[in-house]
Homo-oligomer: A and B are copies of this chain.
Amino acid sequence: MHPFQELIEKFNQDFDTLHFPSQPATLYEPSEYFLKIGGKRIRPVLCLLGNELFSDLHPDAFLAAKAVELFHNFSLVHDDMMDEASLRRGQPTVHTKYDANTALLVGDIMVIRAYEYLQPIQSNHLSKILGLFNQTAREVCEGQQLDMDYAKKATVTIDEYIHMITLKTSVLLAASLEMGAIIGGAGEHNCKHLYEFGKKLGIAFQIQDDYLDAFGDASLFGKEAGGDIKQNKKTFLLIRALEMANAEQLITLNALLASDPADKVDQVLTIFKDCKVDAWAEDLKQKYMQEALAHLESIAVVSARKKPLIDLANYLMNRIQ
């Protein structure tokens, strides 16, 4: 058993290599570029933690972890195209640094590379892992579609937003954990609770993400300051503010959504604070975190084995970037 920080290091050592052949360079050089600009590697580490919850680290867990990381990067490359995002982790996105056709094919080759990493997994686990991976991949695409659909919708409820976030973000965290657990030989009951732990943790993670985008220190966060607010993104915070605002606040907020004044971010943040959206988000995050921990509690292994996962969950919930 290892602390999660050590597993991140172990994964990074394994992952810090070329993932593609050299030719055609017009396809593979941009693919390596994007993988090199980093990321927190939360998903692959969840896979390793899921494995160590039940057994010693197995080489197959590293294969699944790499598949998950490749899949995550595929979804980022294509999502950035759809969102017309120019920066990711503070660096130019693939379609910005190269062009749209390159980014399209880079995403495609990354998802195929993900399946290449899964292929050598021992055959008694392969079908189950592949089934879980496929289902998750499909749900992530559905989540991205809902995200685009919601951008065009006048009103989105908190429940709709949670449904979308569950698909777009949470299920991949959940599946990462469960893939590790399957490789570790976990039974159905334990797998399901671990999956639910990941799902709830993922929602708490997204609440934190939305919070940081609005209230965090942009210089640490690697994205544009108040980027969500500038784009009128329907986040947890905006949806709640639209629900809670009084008549006067609602007029101001809707006017801000329909315009683009220089101090838009500051004005929206003032309304968020007046509506106590920040405190509400903190409470909601804690609620999901407690639900997540209750599922972890239900997993039938000695408590000591759960410590690295609890540490990671706490780290994610208290991160400032």
Contacts and interface: CB of A to CB of B under 8 A. Distances in A.
A120 interface: yes
- Band of interface residues on A: 35 or more
Nearest to A24: B145
Contact of A24 (B81, B115, B120, B142): B142
Given A105-B78, A134-B119, A27 B142 contact: yes
Contacts of A299: none
A81 B126 CA distance: 34
A116 interface: yes
A101 interface: yes
Interface stretch (A106-114, A231-239, A252-260, A266-274): A106-114
Contacts of A24: 142, 145-146, 149
**Best-buried of A113, A115, A123 by chain B (most CB within 10 Å):** A115
Contact of A104 (B78, B113, B133): B78
B145 A130 contact: no
Contact residues of A: prevailing secondary structure: helix
A26 interface: yes
Interface in A141-173: 141-142, 144-146, 148-149
A141 B108 contact: yes
Interface of A: 24, 26-27, 78, 81-82, 101, 104-105, 107-109, 111-113, 115-116, 118-120, 123-124, 126-127, 130-131, 133-134, 137-138, 141-142, 144-146, 148-149
